[in-house]
Structure formats: C-alpha cells, structure tokens
Amino acid sequence: MEADKSNGQSHAPATGPLPVVRDGQIHRVSPIDGAPLPPLPVATADEVRAAVERARAAQQAWKNRSFDERVKALESAAKAMLDRRNEVMALVEREGGKLPVDALFTEALGPLDAVGGWKRVVGPAIRQSIRLSPLAFPKKRARIDLVPRGVIGIIAPWNFPVAGLYRSVLPALMTGNGVVLKPSEHTPESSAWFVTMLSEHLPEGLISVVQGGGAVGGALLDAGIDACVFTGSCATGKKVRVRCAELGIPSSVEMGGNDPAIVLADCDLDRTVAGITHWALQNAGQACGAVEIVYVDRRIADRFVRRIGDAWAKLRVGDGDFAEVEVNPLTTERQLAIVEAHVADALAKGAKLVTGGARVGKGLFYQPTILDACTDRMDVVRDETFGPVLAIVRVDGAAEAIRRTNESRYGLGASIWTRDLARAERLAERLDVGVVDVNNHAMTGAIPDLPWSGARDTGFGIANSALSLTTFCRPKSLLIDENDAPEPFWMPFDASTFELGDLLADAQLMRITRAWKLPLLLAKRAKRIKRFFS
C-alpha cells in the first residue's frame, strides 16, 4: 500500500528513474538535478512487528505520565528541532525538491507552535466534566476521560514529510500513545529526522520509523496496531479503510482534494491574484489543499486571467542557481507525468494555454501553467493534478461556482474571494466541503484548533481539532453517585412506581398541578424499597 498522491489515475507511464524498492533497499534520485541519493534499507515484516511491540511496551509507562509531563517532553523536542532546523531544511531540499524558504516556512518553522496548539486542543478534551440535571440525576457527577488506544500506525505522504506529521504524530503522543511511522519512500530521510529528534526526548521505543513502500505499509496494518492514520491516494486509501475495518481498528483517511477558488466580481483583484498564486504554486502545487481550479465571474475574467498570467510568466523556475528559483520542482517523476498528461488532455479538449506548459531544466521542474476556458470534460478540472497548474473556468456568478464545486468528486476545501464578507459567509454555508476560507485559502491546515476534513472522495478522516482525537483515543465514561438512599425507580415495582414516572413526565411538559405529590412519592418509594430489602 503506497502513500502516493497519484490518486490511482491511469495516465501515461512515467519516464526516467523512479524511487523503487528492490533488493531490500529504496533507490531514489534528487528532483533538483536527478543525482542519485543514498539507498536506504527496507524494513522486513518482522522488523515492523518488533517496532510495534517496542512501542507497546514503552507506551505502558508513557500513558501513565501526567499530561503536563508529556507536553514538556514534546516541547523540549520541538525546541531542539527549531535549533537544528537547517538539518531538516537540507534534507527536504535534497529529497523533496523544496526551496530553502519553502522548507523553512512549511517544514522547519512550526514544531513548537504545533505542540502549543495541540496542548490547547488536547488539554481541555482529555478529561471533561459533564453537567447533569439535578432533577433527573440527583447527587450524581460524571466525566469523560480520553484513554489512549495504544500504538498508532501512521502512513504518511511525501509532500510535507515533516510538517504533515505535526497533526498526526504529535496528538498521538500527547494523548499517551506509542507511534510507528511509515514515511513515503520518496522522502524517507526527512521524516526519519523528525522521528529521531522526538526519540531523543521520549522513552526508548515509544516512536520509531519503518522504511519501505506499499508492502511495508501493509505489514504495519497487520502488525497489531490499534489505529491508523493515512494520507495519500484515493486508490490506496480505500484499501486502508477496508483492511482497518477487517482488523476492527479505527482509521482516519485523507485522500486528496481538487480545491477551487471562487473569484467574485467585487473581489480585491490585487490580493486575489497574489493569494491564488501562492496557494496554487506553494510546493509546486503539491498539496491536497492547493488551489487547482478558479471559478471566476465572467465580468472580470479577462482582467483576472491577464493579471495572473503576467505574474506567473515572470516566476523563475528551472536551470540556474537553486537559491534564485521561485517555484519548486515536482518531487517525483510519476507526479510530473500526471501533470503533463493533464495539461495535454486539456489542450486537446480546447483549453487555451495562457502561460507555461512545459518541462524546464535538468531536474523535475515544470513551468507554472495557466489554462483558460477549461471545462468539466478535462482531467485538469475533474481530477487532482497535484502540480503547478491552474485551470480557469469562467462562470456566470456565485451560484454556478457553488454548484460546480459541490458536483466535484472531491470535497476538501474551497475559497471565496470578495469584498462582501457577509455574503461570503452565506455562500460558504452552501459549499459542500470540509474547509472554506474567505479571501485566503487552506489556512486551517496549520491551525490545530480547526478540523481539516472533507467529503466524497476526499474521505471522512479528520485531522486537527478535538474532533480528530477519537482516532487516537477511546472515550471512557465515569459516573459517581453520592446518594445514600436507593433510587426511587428501583425494584420492587408497585402502583407508586408508575405514578412517580407519570408525574415526572407531566413535570417535563410543565404540567405542575400534581407537583405537590413529588416529595411524598419519593419518600414513599424510598420507604418501600428499604423495607423490601431489610
């Protein structure tokens, strides 16, 4: 089972070298220049099971540490990561192709903020007092504890090999679990660095990494884990869901997106062009929540296309000093092949090339590409492209844009660009997606307090927020009764039992003519029960 982002599409086969697992090793090349990277050993099924067993043994003591102690350990690890951020930036650049500034902002800058955010989310949720009606439940108090499930298996993608783990590994550990991580075979070293940094501040064996491809992901599912978090393609995600159901363990599965930006006629065009450019091209568009489609009001479409086309044509990509490049290369040859296939399909079906549309340089660089006059018949509109490509669809207004968004096979996110914020809130309520931003895009992915989820082929998994914690924990209810007397509805039953229940029903309906009988009936029932059991 692969944590890829190809979404199971049957496009033209990739050419050139691919990271492959053979002879017990992962073989890779750098997306920047095609230079070979050091091979890495693949974990065997026995090694995967051993990692799960070590995590389970370490988790027994870890779960009994106080919440504050667990947070303190994670804070120490996060501070060390920030201090040594240049190490991971170099790894992410070498094997993922990320620009230094992109690696800094999206991968290296956030661990301490993430720990603080999860502390804010998990702290109030891990033990919740419940208010009970003093009439229905006299002298009783209750609470809900979140109990760690045990060992969480995480199958991660390559597009955010460090920051993508903040919203799975950190809450899993903070809630008292052990973790075994299977990174993508495309970015194994970056994710392994994250695990190593955590391990230096955690009990031995509590978290570990197992390297390999789809077979190792399958072995992890079958190694006795207690829950699974998966991010990747639709095809693989569906297999993970089925296998977890067979094993009787919970799973949280996110399987991509094809997010639109809805550009209304009254938008601030300067901010809109700048914002969509960033969210379409950050990490070369290799993000589940990237802007891939623009539904733009026809009344401003010409101006919008001209402005964004002129901007994209000036961006630097390809040959030259990598420090001066402004758009990352694609991370994998396979993903670049999908991008090329989508662009070719769109042009063959009548799309107009505004800018870009070709490989450039010696690595996996692809020009930032804008396609105008796109339609629903095109793969670039129907499927997730996961590259530096923007499909422009001209619409007659917000209603058409919302209808098209809701008809998409995906339902992760969308954004609305307008000066009318009150209208934007009303429109957001009509969008059948998991995340909506107004005059921005995909911001909630970095906010632990807000859920990151979706509908339809995106999957039903939830990342971030207290709503995600049921993947890592099971709820345990506790009720404490401070009564000395028996409950008035306990056996033995007689006519007074029925009369009491009938009176309580009337009381709920605010029929209080018989309310004076309540203390008499309660006393009668208490005396009857006490006499019966004496």
The answer to whether residues 446 and 465 touch, using CB atoms and an 8 Å cutoff, is: no
pLDDT at 255: 85
State CA 260 to chain mean position distance. Answer: 18
pLDDT at 16: 42
The answer to whether residues 300 and 398 touch, using CB atoms and an 8 Å cutoff, is: no
pLDDT at 6: 40
Other CB atoms within 10 A of residue 194 CB: 27
pLDDT at 3: 42
Q: Is the pLDDT of residue 490 over 70?
A: yes
Catalytic residue from among 234, 288, 374, 473: 288
Tell me the average pLDDT across 308-331. 86
Tell me the average pLDDT across 341-364. 95
Percent of the chain clearing pLDDT 70 (strictly above): 96
Which residues have C-beta within 8 Å of that of residue 379, sequence separation ≥ 6?
A: 9, 11, 341, 342, 345, 346, 385
Query: How is residue 77 annotated by DSSP?
Result: H
Q: Mention the CATH class of domain 259-449.
A: alpha beta
Catalytic residue from among 2, 95, 107, 254: 254
Tell me the average pLDDT across 144-172. 96
Measured over the CA atoms of residue 210, residue 216, residue 221 and residue 223, the dihedral's sign is negative
Q: Is the pLDDT of residue 19 over 80?
A: no
Q: Is the pLDDT of residue 53 over 50?
A: yes
Any idea which residue has 């970056």 for tokens?
190
The answer to whether residues 206 and 173 touch, using CB atoms and an 8 Å cutoff, is: yes
Other CB atoms within 10 A of residue 108 CB: 21
Tell me the average pLDDT across 353-366. 93
H/E element, 221? helix 214-221
Peptide bond into 448 cis (omega under 30): no
The secondary structure of 391-447 as a DSSP string is: EEEEESSHHHHHHHHHTSSB-SEEEEE-S-HHHHHHHHTT--SSEEEESS-SGGGG-
Q: Is the pLDDT of residue 522 over 70?
A: yes
Tell me whether residue 254 is one of the annotated catalytic residues: yes
Distance CA 500, CA 517 (A): 9
Q: For residue 228, what are its two tokens? A: 């699974």
pLDDT at 12: 33
Distance CA 352, CA 369 (A): 11
In one letter, which amino acid is 421? L
Q: Where are the domains of the chain?
A: 45-255+467-476, 259-449, 485-532
Helix (H, G, I), strand (E, B) or coil at 241: helix
Distance CA 528, CA 92 (A): 75
Q: Hey, which of 251-260, 449-458, 470-479 has the most confident mean pLDDT?
A: 470-479
Over residues 210-243, the pLDDT tens digits come to 999 999 999 999 999 999 999 988 888 899 999 9
State CA 533 to chain mean position distance. Answer: 57
Any idea which residue has 């619409």 for tokens?
395
Q: For residue 117, what are its two tokens? A: 């955010």
pLDDT at 361: 86
Lowest mean pLDDT among 8-17, 338-347, 397-406, 524-533: 8-17
Any idea which residue has 């911001």 for tokens?
443
The answer to whether residues 230 and 254 touch, using CB atoms and an 8 Å cutoff, is: yes
pLDDT at 1: 45
Distance CA 169, CA 288 (A): 19
pTM over 0.95: no
pLDDT at 485: 87
Lowest mean pLDDT among 178-182, 266-270, 401-405, 516-520: 516-520
Distance CA 423, CA 76 (A): 45
Tell me the average pLDDT across 244-249. 96
45-255+467-476 CATH: 3.40.605.10
Of the pLDDT bands very low, low, confident and very high (cuts 50, 70, 90), residue 491 is very high
Distance CA 450, CA 454 (A): 13
Q: Is the pLDDT of residue 13 over 60?
A: no
Measured over the CA atoms of residue 274, residue 277, residue 281 and residue 287, the dihedral's sign is positive
Give CA angle at 484 (482, 489), nearest 5°: 95
The candidate with the shortest Cα–Cα distance to 225, out of 240, 238, 203, 214, is 240
Q: Is the pLDDT of residue 4 over 90?
A: no
